[in-house]
Structure 1
Amino acid sequence: MYSCCFHAPEFRRLANGRVLVARLAGLCLLMFAVMGASAQSDSETVAAAPILRVAYLEFPPITYQDSNGQPAGSFIELTRKVAVEAGYQPEFIYLPVSRVYLYLINGLIDVWPGVTEVPVLQGNVLESWISPAPVHLSAWYLESSPPLIHLEELRGKRVIVIGGYTYAGLLDWLAAHPDIRITEAPNHRSAVDMLKRRRGDYLLDYRQPVRQVLVPGSDDMLRESEVRTRDLAWIFSLAHPRAALMRDEFDDAYLRLVERGEVPPVRDLTGAYVIPGYPGELQ
């Protein structure tokens, strides 16, 4: 009969090995448990964050609705990042520009990632101190036409505008001059096509959306005269009782993200361009 046994040193090595394996297994289980708890905690934190109702409109490539009906654009992604850093869960609501203004005034939305100095909103909103980027309002024209040097040169001309846009009150200035004929386009691409068909002498529209829809080769005859520089900002509804606090939370969150190198540096807001002849009351 054969006997099967271990000598004492061999038995101790085997036992120590089994203990080591057991300890390693226990450590792995503990790490997975901690990671799971951390992930669950992060998820619960996001879910517990207060919802921030964020309006956005069709202003590509800055803000727009993509082919899947989801909010998209450079300012949308930045807004999402800053809102989360500030402790909010953003809920994006796609609206036409007139509805954005109305909902900001009556408090149906909390904030709009939009442009500063909208006359109809004055006294109803607070603008963030920080502006992440400028926007440029331009007069577009065909290469066979003269550039716009002075705003008064629009007198006696046909001007194409985008439906729903007020251009920070400039639309009212145009409408107040009977010798300026206003033609409305439903969107940026339609406005460019109307200009190419000479249904207007100038197209008043923002640089970023127009450049987004231009087709190389087909639209090379378009030219641009800058009219005014404006600033992007977060526009908070004063109908919300925490409007001032939310603005400060957004500004502080942006500064923290700047320190971590996750967003562009804070801009210097001096030196904005305004074309000669621009109404002083609108500046």
Structure 2
Amino acid sequence: MYRCFPRIVSRLTRLLLLAGMLVLAQLAHGNGNPGDTVRIAYVEFPPITYRNDDGEPSGMFIDITRKVALEAGYTPEFLYLPVSRAYLYLENGQIDAWTGVSGVPALMGHVLESWASPMPVQLSAWYLSGRSALNHFDQLQNKRVIVIGGYTYGGLLYWLEGQPSIRVTEAPNHRAALEMLKRDRGDYLLDYRQPVRDILTMPGDSQIRESEVRSRNLAWLFSLANPRAALLREEFDDAYVRLAERGEVPPVRVLNQGFVVPGFPEKYR
């Protein structure tokens, strides 16, 4: 019996060393266990996030998210949702995260935002050449405003709909919204820069002008209904930094408050 004891100790030592090496390897590649699934919502927001013709998640933010999740040690499971459903699922914990934007008032107290942000997102007011640029938000009073169906603009839509002097008209998509603007079915179109600039290729689009309204940052928003929300944020941020250092994602950005047009409703800044 005593003769076997050194061999048992030696075997235990080897097992402990192996376990330690596995832990160190895991820490080097994020704290998630390889194969663990993280449920990530995305919405129709081309070219940032969207569902392609094959029904698969696509877009520049989707590509970055996939890299970051894998670097952190997770397998991303993408869920395509309307934005209102994404908000609800973040609140009740049916998803772990959303590839969205920072500073959404309706989500305050329900999410943790990542510190890392690959790029800014610009909300603009689009109008026709020869008409007035939007230099103050009060200029929307007594005007017709086109919006995109399914978008809440960080809650700003509810403010617009509550203004008796602003007539809100909904378009089913970005292309339809531009055509409505060109046909004088609205004075301004509220829409994001990236999706609109991506499709300004049709005859007559050259007459469309842009005024900046509000800038925010792309971010991963982690559901506080998940007890691991803070850990997930840390893992994603750390993974993003490692990828940025290797040149596989955009450089780490120094975030600021961004631009806000004068008169923008304080509640939705």
Q: Which TM-score band (shorter chain)?
A: 0.7 to 0.9
Q: Which residue is equivalent to 1:234?
A: 220
Aligned-residue offset at 1:93: 1.1
- Tell me which of 38, 44, 54 is aligned to 2:40: 54
Mean Cα displacement is larger for which, 66-75 or 268-277?
268-277
The yes-or-no answer on 1:75 pairing with 2:61 is: yes
Long gaps (5+) in structure 2: 1-31
Amino acid at match of 1:244: A
Contact 2:116 2:237 survives alignment (8 Å): yes
Q: Paired residue for 2:49? A: 63
- The CA deviation at 1:270 is 2.0
2:170 matched residue in structure 1? 184
Over aligned residues, Cα RMSD in angstroms? 1.5
- Whether 2:99 is the aligned partner of 1:107: answer no
1:270 partner letter: N
For 2:139, the equivalent position in structure 1 comes to: 153
Cα 1:200–1:272 change in 2 (3 A) is same
What TM-score results when the alignment is normalised by the length of structure 1? Answer: 0.81
How far is 1:176 from its partner? Answer: 2.4
How far residue 47 of structure 1 moved from its aligned partner, in angstroms, is 9.6
Matched with 2:158 is 172
Q: Secondary structure at the match of 2:98?
A: strand
Structure 1 residues 242 and 197, CA, compared in 2 at 3 Å: closer, same or farther?
same
Cα distance in 1, alignment partners of residues 198 and 245 from structure 2: 31
Query: Aligned pair in 2 of structure 1 residues 130, 48: CA closer, same or farther (>3 Å)?
Result: closer
Task: List per-residue Cα deviations over 1:160-204 (Å, max 9, x = no partner).
Answer: 011121112222221222001111111111111111111110000
Aligned-partner Cα distance in 2 for 1:174–1:218 = 28
Q: Which segments of structure 1 move beyond 4 Å, counting only runs of 4 or more?
A: none
Instruction: Give me the whole-angstrom Cα distance separating, in 2, the residues matched to 1:168 and 1:68.
Output: 29
- In the alignment, what sits opposite 1:258? 244
2:84 counterpart residue number: 98
- Contact in 1 for aligned 2:33/2:73 (Cα 8 Å): no
Residue-by-residue CA offset, 1:125-147 (whole Å, 9 max, x unaligned): 11001111000000000113111
Residues 116-125 or 225-234, more deviating: 116-125
Q: Given the alignment of the two structures, is residue 198 of structure 1 paired with residue 199 of structure 2, yes or no?
A: no
Unmatched runs of 5 consecutive residues or more in structure 1? 1-45
TM-score under structure 2 length normalisation: 0.85
* Larger of the two Rg values belongs to structure: 1
**CA offsets per residue over residues 94-144 of structure 1, 9 Å max, x none?**
111111111111111111111111111111111001111000000000113
- C-alpha deviation, 1:217, in angstroms: 3.5
Contact 2:112 2:230 in 1 (8 A): yes
Matched residue SS, 2:65 = helix
- Verify the 8 A CA contact 2:41 2:79 in the aligned structure 1: yes
Matched residue SS, 1:54: strand
Q: Name the % identity.
A: 65
Aligned counterpart, 1:89: 75
The CA deviation at 1:230 is: 0.7
Deviation at 1:232, TM superposition (A): 0.2
- Is contact 2:33–2:74 with CA below 8 Å preserved after alignment? no
